[in-house]
Amino acid sequence: MLKNDKEKEKILITTAIDYANDVIHIGHAYEKILADSVARYYRKIYGKENVYFLTGTDEHGTTNYLAAKEENMSVEEYTRKISSLDRKEIDALNISYDRFIRTTDPDHVKTASNLFEKALERGDIYKAEYEGFYCEGCEEYKTLSDLDEDKKCPQHPNKQIRLLKEENYFLRWSAYENALRELIEKKDDFILPENKKNEMLAFLEQGLNDIPVSRPKYKVPWGISVPSDEEQIIYVWYDALVNYYTAAKQKDMWNEKTKIIHFVGKDILRFHALLWPVMLLSLELPLPDTIYAHGFINLKGKKISKSLGNVIRPSDLVKKYGVDAVRYYFLKHGPITEDVDISIKHLEEVYNADLANGLGNTVARIAKMAERSGLSFEPQEKEFVWQAPWSAPISKFRVDLALQNIWRMLTDLDKHINENEPWAIEDQEELKNVLSKEVYQIRKISLILEPFIPSTSRRIQEQFFKDRIRSEEPLFPKL
Ligand SMILES: [Zn+2]
């Protein structure tokens, strides 16, 4: 259980929403699988109705506008198409979101515009002239120290950095510097993992300048208008961050009784840890409890990108290896704290070792012996063992360590089988005694696997939660 969780009644879990300029690839998909397994876990503890899991697409701003133009499509049509393709990718991974939000959804447009107007009324947003370097890939103003020696954005070396001078609305970011520092220092789990917390504190040390939260419409024609000023468009990041509030508010889940957890990639932590809280503070709205920033996935030592031509879609992996193999691989070996390097070869090795030989083999062995014994194994209650030692790492969202614990239980179970040699036991009572222990243990493991590999978990449950256990097709055929 998490600290301070006793007073929380509900859980809100979000992923970042993806730009609708291109369909998501496995790099983006990791975050969905991670958040999904945590959401499924919390549903077991808090009840299905008390957990809300949100994902979606970020559809406004220059990036999406230019991508649509390149395809000769209207931006409405283009973002609708990408959004629905993204959703297919996410569905292929069996992601149990409660809402797939699009920032073009009417309720979101209304909410973003309302919040902006309220901040304007309170004086935390004001109009002024601005000059600065803008990266259209990041949709963000850059300081000189953010840029390479040749004044290029490190994330977007192919894009021209532009010096913009324009009238914008500004958020009084500088006024919240101390509040932010205090928040990050005092609230233990506000930023995870720990090293990311220090990064944010270091950024604050440089001091905050007020930040533009609008762009002139003649430069960025695609977005939500500033309510009282039709010439200005709300900055895409201000708009996008509000999506969490839009969806949660409707379910009465943006409040002190809800534990709010944002999963994001490390590249957008600054927006979530430093900008979003200020937007909320300026409106006196509750803050998120945890912002978890994971690393990046590289493919055989290279960044995954369209321009490098090494993009892999989640649905392609799922077609080849099955949804749970893909989920397992990324949950166990994904960039939970640091960047990771993956390869298809590594995925296949892990599949064979952990799934075909590990879990699959142990399940098959026990089923075969139970069937052969002719004995009956009355199913125990499906009592959950969610707050047991195996799950302790989940309090810090370390699903990889939780899986390690479960696989250790599988190894112990295998050891129990090898040491007791049920196949050689002739005494029926003794055989029943030994096999019952093993059947009980595999039933227990099948239950706790549910948040991570739900389809496999259900298959094992269907096979084992009955009196007469039978052998079935292998869970993970060897590659
Ligand atoms: Zn950039």
What separation in Å is there between the alpha carbon of 164 and the centre of ligand 1?
A: 15
| Segment 42-92, tens digit of pLDDT | 999 999 999 999 999 999 999 999 999 999 999 999 999 999 999 999 999
Please tell me the distance between residue 87's alpha carbon and the centre of ligand 1 in angstroms: 25
Give residue 5's pLDDT. 57
Band of residue 280 on the pLDDT scale cut at 50, 70, 90? very high
Q: Which protein residues have a CB closer than 5 Å to ligand 1 (ion)? A: 135, 137-138, 153, 155-156
Rounded to the nearest angstrom, the distance between the alpha carbon of 4 and the centre of ligand 1 is 38
| 44 annotated active-site | no
Catalytic residue among 8, 156, 187, 251: 156
Arch. (CATH architecture) of 344-464: Orthogonal Bundle (1.10)
Q: CB 412: neighbour CB atoms within 10 A?
A: 11
Taking the centre of ligand 1 as the mean of its atom positions, its distance from the CA of residue 197, in whole angstroms, is 22
How many angstroms does the Cα of residue 465 sit away from the middle of ligand 1? 53
Percentage above 70 pLDDT, the chain: 99
Per the listing, tokens 């950024």 go with 203
**Phi/psi zone of residue 160: left (φ > 0), alpha (ψ -120 to 50 degrees), beta?**
beta
Establish whether 416 is a catalytic residue. no
For 93-123, how does the pLDDT look when each residue is reduced to its tens digit (9 = 90+)? 999 999 999 999 999 999 999 999 999 999 9
**What is the domain class of 10-303 according to CATH?**
alpha beta
Residue range(s) in the chain whose domain bears CATH number 1.10.730.10: 344-464
Cα separation, 175 vs 437, whole angstroms: 62
* 382 in catalytic set: no
User: pTM, whole model, 2 decimals?
Assistant: 0.94
Catalytic residue of the set 303, 346, 368, 432: 303
Q: Where in the chain is the domain with CATH 3.40.50.620?
A: 10-303
Backbone φ, ψ for residue 106 (5° rounding): -55, -40
Contact at 8 Å (CB) between 148 and 154?
yes
Dist. CA 134 → ligand 1 center (Å)? 8
197 given a catalytic annotation: no
Report CA(225)–ligand 1 centroid distance (Å). Answer: 24
- CA-derived radius of gyration, the chain: 25
Q: Which of 69, 88, 219, 306 is catalytic?
A: 306
